[in-house]
Amino acid sequence: MKNIVILISGGGSNMAAIVRTAGQQNWASRHGIRVAAVLSNKADAKGLGIAREQGIATQVLDHKAYASREAFDAALAQAIDAHEPALVVLAGFMRILTPGFVDHFAGRLVNIHPSLLPAFTGLHTHQRAIEAGCKFAGCTVHLVTAELDVGPILDQAVVPVLPGDTAEGLAARVLTQEHLIYPRAVLAHLLR
């Protein structure tokens, strides 16, 4: 069985989309792929409840309980490794990971970013796209490297920027596409 471990910090909508798609497409019996665990750095992350409802193992590691970013990442890597992951999926995990963590999971660590990378790395992507006068925005699934939001692109979806768009409206349309491409990219990467 190829295990997926998903990291979240909040609502977990992308995690839920992956879990839902895996169930609907019967990844476990068709491909030997399953979501084995969902980990969060926040005990109140709503996505943990969604995972528990689906019978998926959950764990919380509060980053504030560790003396350094490196110490947290080492503990997080150990917790992930306990599930023998074929893939680690960042789904709204709001922590910048250390190079050591990224190296440990090299080629097995993916993220989704709410822009058409390489444009608009970092935060506030939707507002920045509107302010730049972009006609299109979107989202990108990519392999994680030590440099933020620049790893090899696995999949993208394009969303038009509409006249009078707000960052919130654009974000909602982009999120709809995230829920479609993230499961697709995860499966494709594991089947490659």
Tokens representing 104 are 């440990």
Residue ranges of alpha helices (H) inside 125-166 are 125-131
Instruction: Identify the CATH assignment for 2-191 out of 3.30.9.10, 3.40.50.170, 1.10.3290.10, 3.30.2290.10.
Output: 3.40.50.170
Per-residue pLDDT of the chain (192 residues; tens, 9 = 90+): 999 999 999 999 999 999 999 999 999 999 999 999 999 999 999 999 999 999 999 999 999 999 999 999 999 999 999 999 999 999 999 999 999 999 999 999 999 999 999 999 999 999 999 999 999 999 999 999 999 999 999 999 999 999 999 999 999 999 999 999 999 999 999 999
8-state DSSP, 132: T
d(Cα 109, Cα 145) in Å, to the nearest integer?
8
Q: Is 179 a catalytic residue?
A: no
Reported as type and span, the H/E element at residue 36 is strand 33-40
The closest alpha carbon to 136, from 144, 121, 125, 145, belongs to 125
Residue 58 has a pLDDT of: 98
Which of 31, 63, 104, 113 is catalytic? The answer is 113
Residue ranges of alpha helices (H) inside 25-157 are 27-31, 46-53, 69-81, 99-104, 125-131
Write down the domain spans for the chain: 2-191
Residue 71 has a pLDDT of: 98
Residue 48 has a pLDDT of: 98
